[in-house]
A and B are shown apart, each in its own frame.
Chain A
Amino acid sequence: MNEWRIHPLGVLRALLRPIDPWLLLILVALLGYSWVLMMSASPERVATQRVHFAVALLAMWAVALVPPKRLLAGAVPLYLAGVVLLVGVLVFGESSKGAQRWLSLGFARIQPSELMKIALPLMLAWYFQQREGMLQAADFIVAGILLAIPLGLIVVQPDLGTSLLVAAAGAYVLFFAGLSWKLIVPVALVSIAGMAAIVGFGDILCESGFDWHVLREYQKQRVCTLLDPTQDPLGKGFHIIQSTIAIGSGGLFGKGWMAGTQTHLAFIPERHTDFIFSVLAEEFGMVGAMVLLAAYALLLLRGFMIAARAPTLGSRLLAGAVTMIIFTYAFVNMGMVSGILPVVGVPLPFLSYGGTALVTLCIGIGMLMSIERSRQAAKE
């Protein structure tokens, strides 16, 4: 009758079983890095950020405890709720900085587009899971529609940065599901050609009277600022100029913790959120930046490994997409801060101050853990 006795240690073991030690190790290392940087960039926020850490880790653990099948089962209601909220934003939403992104629920303001970053890949993974073994070209059209609905709703808010990230999240699922190269290659070529055109004819395109039609004025500004930050050194270009100065002046080994002049003399804007990487690169130099890149690389490799070994199509697609989303956040943020991508409001995963993005990302890590646990469970 021993089996029926609930052993306290056994309960703990069961609860901890889904935790992947590799992911946890890297995650804790990244959060530790964030803590150290926050003490320099914005010491008054360290306490709040600690609370964010705790909440995010709890969310991760909670998600890790849920088996992938149950996660995917939640996809449809989550997705539908997300779409309804996005429509709600358009109808009742609150404006801030020229865009309607927030929805007030009375007790809290939420940003439904943030929810979509998880709900959309989950929904697509669920759909493909249903079609496992009988995928047809038509399935990709259905998936494309599932992707287009929330994307369109976010684009009209307008929020270009988030819609690009949501689009990427959906596109990753399609890519891993086996979308034909015949479709991927032309789209990639058109994008590259478009970027080349902007860089090549930036002077003409960025003239003040020139209407781009596709992009709004503030979006055009961001691209133009990237092309020539010196055009507007006290306005939008200031962010990029000052953050590249911070990174460049950090040198190989950095100026030392708490000793970054760009950071501490307030030359770096939003140094605790989107521009925290400039603080890192200034104070810890290229060595510090490489350590961060290595940590991300390990995290991503672990994610891809989990995806490659996942037992079901849905969990595979989900794991691959979550990993790529983390990568996209990291790449876009560091690319922006170092001046090779336009200024888009994307936080640096696990390092930037702020709860929402951290919780979202940790839910993603939790999903990876859940999928890895399901593989081990299947083996047992």
Chain B
Amino acid sequence: MNQYRSPAEDLAGFRNRIIVAVLFVFLCLGLLGARFYLLQVARHDYFHARAEGNRIAVLPVVPQRGVIYDRNGRLLARNYSAFTLEINPSRVRDPERTIDDLAAIVTIEDRDRKRFRRLLKESKYFESVPVRTHLSDEEVARIVARSYRLPGVEVRARLFRDYPMGPSAAHVIGYIGRINERDLARIEERGESANYRGSDYIGKSGLELSYETELHGTTGVEQVEINAGGRAVRLLSSIPAQSGSDLELTLDIELQQAAEAALGGRRGAVVAIEPASGGILALASTPSFDPNLFVDGISVADWRALSDSPDHPMLNRAIYSAYPPGSTYKPFMALAGLESGKRTLDQRFSNQGVFSYAGLRFPDRKSNCQHNVDLHRSLVHSCNTYYYQLAVDLGIEAIAGFMRPFGFGSRTGVDIPGEASGVLPSPDWKRARFSRREQQQWYGGETVSVGIGQGYNAYTPLQLANALAAMLNGGAVFRPHVVRHVVDTTHGTRRVIEPHPVSYLPLREQHVMAVRNAMVDVARIGTAARVFADAPYHVGGKTGTAQVFSLRGQKYEEGKVSERLRDHSWFIGFAPADDPKIAIAVLVENGGFGSQSAAPVARVVMDRYLLGKPVESEAGEIDEDLAAELEQ
């Protein structure tokens, strides 16, 4: 550095520095200009797309789920809207702490936290997860007032599902629940992922499951402009959602409640079918459960109570429990005898006290079954020996061949999921069923017990009711169904479910009438006479008893056998006798003789259906309680 420079030298040096500064400044400004060019011209398309992506969100508009009515228009499943408190996990750093903060404002129980954690694990996309449902107006106000301090916390009005009948017909209606990973996989398989964007619930059982597609509806789309806070500020375009279709059932909820009440606290099932249409009038299974518990995720305690109960309330006994039909099989066996020509109406058998087969003795000591037993008498008094002989004369193949078209041993195709197929015994079935050679062999003695509805026979109450209806129809087999109409509320169209028989059996009318007449006498003077003695209409029926436990060489004495090992009580029947409007099958587990437990239940249901007699039932009171609760 020069010392003692002249002012002129100083000035020259300074001006050089100024030139350097100007160059530096223009270099930097040029750098900025280049950066702007890169962003605004070269990569403009990219940033334009980013800005649009920022700005526009495509939001699903969840359709309103279809409601379910019974045949008289009474609501069985409906929607209502309520406020929920939700947390959007993608916008909250620590959800647990946010819940702690919220707990200071509204009540949040341990149960709510547990459910939140579970739902958080199951939640899909970046959806908000509910912490509390059914907020009161005051709670909503308290949260909204503090919302600025609670980012990621939302109060939303959501539609909820409600089953006003509570446990009544719960097995039929089923329930919905939050979509879980398994449901998601199924939705994807069906290629419906787009339609379920934004849906939280899906049918899990019953009609809610089998008619999921119809009930769900079509999801709409809204294009909205959103701000940085993620809030929609302007609607750009929208395709409205189409509500799901309503279901109109053939089921009569009052009849259903009558059936449930008649079963009382016992384990059992009632299936009532309108023979002319195959429509199910009542399909009861007791004990039942409250489907409302499931809608928002059932609590562990409630679930344990249901799943640990020895009575298995979740089980739909009407379509899943298959038991030997006992003597209720005899009308079908009799028809098989007539149709095959192995029996005629006037054929009589005497000395029927014991039936011997291959050295085995099958006794029937009932006095009415000893002498002059024709087909009519064999049904009225339920004579076993007549059917032992008939089974042997027909042979197992012929029996199976005759029974199969009635739907025995195969799923009826009812529109409720979870049906069991039961067992129609035959040599083929046995070969397929067992693996050991000696078990695969069909023994002649087995045919004998099949003839009276015991042995390997196992049918569901629905199969029996539907087979009875087919016989009453003279051979027209319907696929039984609970839904009568699917009502598309958007287009105002109604789709009728199964109005036509799926097959016709070539039965001769005189054979059918002979069996029907014998069944009428069962209710008039036979095994069920006492139950129907004062009925102001004519009834046809047949009692049955299914052995739960075979007592080798001992006489079955009801009082001495523990309750769970008692025989199951069956009854099938129809009324009015000359023009059946209702065909019914009743099962009471461990109910003993058919006339003892099952037939009285059928009587109550028939009274209710044919006479409209109001039934004093607990179910009615429960219903009112629920209604009162909902009002609050």
Q: Which residues of A contact B (CB under 8 A)?
A: 132-137, 172, 175-176, 178, 180, 242, 244-252, 261-262, 265-267, 281, 285-286, 289-290, 293, 296-297, 300-301, 304, 307-308, 313, 316, 320, 323-324, 327, 331, 334-335, 338-340
Q: Are A247 and B39 in contact (CB under 8 A)?
A: yes
Q: Are B41 and A137 in contact (CB under 8 A)?
A: no
Chain B residues near A134 (CB, 8 Å)? 3-4
Q: Are A265 and B228 in contact (CB under 8 A)?
A: yes
Q: Are A137 and B1 in contact (CB under 8 A)?
A: yes
Q: Are A304 and B14 in contact (CB under 8 A)?
A: no
From known contacts A134-B4, A178-B17, A289-B36, infer whether A296 and B51 are also in contact, taking CB-CB under 8 Å. Answer: no
* Bound Cα distance A327, B15 (Å): 18
> In the complex, given contacts A251-B40, A262-B51, what are 4 additional A-B residue pairs having Cβ atoms less than 8 angstroms apart?
A248-B43, A313-B10, A313-B14, A324-B21
From known contacts A176-B17, A301-B22, A320-B18, infer whether A245 and B1 are also in contact, taking CB-CB under 8 Å. Answer: no
Q: Are B32 and A293 in contact (CB under 8 A)?
A: yes
Q: Are B29 and A135 in contact (CB under 8 A)?
A: no
Chain A residues near B13 (CB, 8 Å)? 178
Chain B residues near A334 (CB, 8 Å)? 32
Chain A residues near B21 (CB, 8 Å)? 172, 175-176, 304, 320, 323-324
* Bound Cα distance A308, B21 (Å): 11
From known contacts A247-B36, A250-B40, A308-B15, infer whether A267 and B227 are also in contact, taking CB-CB under 8 Å. Answer: yes
* Complex interface bits, B20-37 against A, C-beta within 8 A gives 1, otherwise 0: 011001101101110111
From known contacts A286-B40, A340-B35, infer whether A266 and B7 are also in contact, taking CB-CB under 8 Å. Answer: no
Chain B residues near A290 (CB, 8 Å)? 33, 36
From known contacts A245-B54, A251-B44, infer whether A135 and B18 are also in contact, taking CB-CB under 8 Å. Answer: no
Could you list 13 examples of A-B contacts with CB < 8 Å? A136-B3, A178-B13, A242-B54, A244-B47, A247-B40, A261-B51, A266-B229, A293-B29, A304-B22, A313-B10, A320-B17, A320-B18, A324-B25
Residue of B nearest to A338 (CB): B35
* Bound Cα distance A273, B55 (Å): 22
B143 close to chain A: CB less than 8 A = no
* Complex interface bits, B215-228 against A, C-beta within 8 A gives 1, otherwise 0: 00000000001111
Chain A residues near B7 (CB, 8 Å)? 132-133, 313
Partner of A300, one of B15, B25, B48, B227: B25
Chain B residues near A249 (CB, 8 Å)? 44, 47-48, 50-52
Chain A residues near B125 (CB, 8 Å)? none
Q: Are B47 and A338 in contact (CB under 8 A)?
A: no
B46 close to chain A: CB less than 8 A = yes
* Bound Cα distance A313, B10 (Å): 8
* Bound Cα distance A338, B39 (Å): 8
Which of B7, B35, B225 neighbours the largest number of chain A CB atoms within 10 Å of its CB? B35
Chain B residues near A136 (CB, 8 Å)? 1, 3
* Bound Cα distance A307, B51 (Å): 44
Q: Are A252 and B14 in contact (CB under 8 A)?
A: no
Q: Are B40 and A285 in contact (CB under 8 A)?
A: yes
B358 close to chain A: CB less than 8 A = no
Chain A residues near B46 (CB, 8 Å)? 248
Q: In the complex, what's the smallest C-beta–C-beta distance from B572 to chain A, in angstroms?
A: 67
From known contacts A178-B14, A308-B15, infer whether A135 and B3 are also in contact, taking CB-CB under 8 Å. Answer: yes
Q: In the complex, what's the smallest C-beta–C-beta distance from B538 to chain A, in angstroms?
A: 77
Interface size on B, residues (CB 8 A): 44
* Bound Cα distance A137, B5 (Å): 13
Q: In the complex, what's the smallest C-beta–C-beta distance from A312 to chain B, in angstroms?
A: 9
Partner of A316, one of B5, B14, B40, B44: B14
* Bound Cα distance A212, B10 (Å): 42
* Bound Cα distance A75, B183 (Å): 77
Q: In the complex, what's the smallest C-beta–C-beta distance from B242 to chain A, in angstroms?
A: 31
* Closest A-B pairs by Cβ, 6 of them: A248-B47, A249-B51, A248-B39, A286-B40, A265-B227, A249-B47
* Bound Cα distance A246, B43 (Å): 12
* Bound Cα distance A293, B33 (Å): 8
Partner of A133, one of B4, B22, B25, B31: B4
Chain B residues near A246 (CB, 8 Å)? 51
Chain B residues near A285 (CB, 8 Å)? 40
Q: In the complex, what's the smallest C-beta–C-beta distance from A116 to chain B, in angstroms?
A: 22
Partner of B32, one of A252, A313, A316, A335: A335
Residue of B nearest to A251 (CB): B44
* Bound Cα distance A228, B130 (Å): 35
Chain B residues near A247 (CB, 8 Å)? 36, 39-40, 47
* Bound Cα distance A313, B18 (Å): 13
From known contacts A134-B3, A335-B32, infer whether A252 and B41 are also in contact, taking CB-CB under 8 Å. Answer: yes
Q: Are B32 and A338 in contact (CB under 8 A)?
A: yes
Q: Are A248 and B48 in contact (CB under 8 A)?
A: yes
Residue of B nearest to A140 (CB): B1
Q: In the complex, what's the smallest C-beta–C-beta distance from A290 to chain B, in angstroms?
A: 7
Partner of A176, one of B18, B44, B233: B18
Q: Are A281 and B40 in contact (CB under 8 A)?
A: yes
Q: In the complex, what's the smallest C-beta–C-beta distance from B87 to chain A, in angstroms?
A: 16
Q: In the complex, what's the smallest C-beta–C-beta distance from A283 to chain B, in angstroms?
A: 12
Residue of A nearest to B20 (CB): A175
Chain A residues near B41 (CB, 8 Å)? 251-252, 286
Q: In the complex, what's the smallest C-beta–C-beta distance from A216 to chain B, in angstroms?
A: 22
* Bound Cα distance A359, B85 (Å): 49
Which of B7, B32, B33, B46 neighbours the largest number of chain A CB atoms within 10 Å of its CB? B32
* Bound Cα distance A296, B46 (Å): 29
Residue of A nearest to B44 (CB): A251
Residue of A nearest to B51 (CB): A249
Chain B residues near A331 (CB, 8 Å)? 28-29, 32
* Bound Cα distance A285, B31 (Å): 17
Q: In the complex, what's the smallest C-beta–C-beta distance from B43 to chain A, in angstroms?
A: 6
Q: Are A252 and B33 in contact (CB under 8 A)?
A: no
Which of A178, A242, A262, A296 neighbours the largest number of chain B CB atoms within 10 Å of its CB? A178
Q: Are B17 and A245 in contact (CB under 8 A)?
A: no
Chain A residues near B39 (CB, 8 Å)? 244, 247-248, 281, 338
Partner of B37, one of A178, A265, A286, A296: A286
Q: Are A308 and B18 in contact (CB under 8 A)?
A: yes
Chain B residues near A265 (CB, 8 Å)? 54-55, 225-228, 233
Q: In the complex, what's the smallest C-beta–C-beta distance from B235 to chain A, in angstroms?
A: 14
Q: In the complex, what's the smallest C-beta–C-beta distance from B586 to chain A, in angstroms?
A: 63
Q: Are B50 and A245 in contact (CB under 8 A)?
A: yes
* Bound Cα distance A250, B227 (Å): 18
Q: In the complex, what's the smallest C-beta–C-beta distance from A261 to chain B, in angstroms?
A: 5
Residue of B nearest to A247 (CB): B39
* Bound Cα distance A302, B40 (Å): 29
Q: Are B40 and A266 in contact (CB under 8 A)?
A: no
* Bound Cα distance A338, B33 (Å): 11
Which of B11, B25, B46 neighbours the largest number of chain A CB atoms within 10 Å of its CB? B25
Q: In the complex, what's the smallest C-beta–C-beta distance from B94 to chain A, in angstroms?
A: 14
Q: In the complex, what's the smallest C-beta–C-beta distance from A372 to chain B, in angstroms?
A: 15
Chain B residues near A262 (CB, 8 Å)? 51, 54
Q: In the complex, what's the smallest C-beta–C-beta distance from A234 to chain B, in angstroms?
A: 8
Chain B residues near A300 (CB, 8 Å)? 22, 25
Q: Are B228 and A242 in contact (CB under 8 A)?
A: yes
* Bound Cα distance A334, B35 (Å): 10
Residue of B nearest to A331 (CB): B28
Q: In the complex, what's the smallest C-beta–C-beta distance from B26 to chain A, in angstroms?
A: 7
Which of B37, B54, B225 neighbours the largest number of chain A CB atoms within 10 Å of its CB? B54
From known contacts A134-B3, A262-B51, infer whether A289 and B40 are also in contact, taking CB-CB under 8 Å. Answer: yes
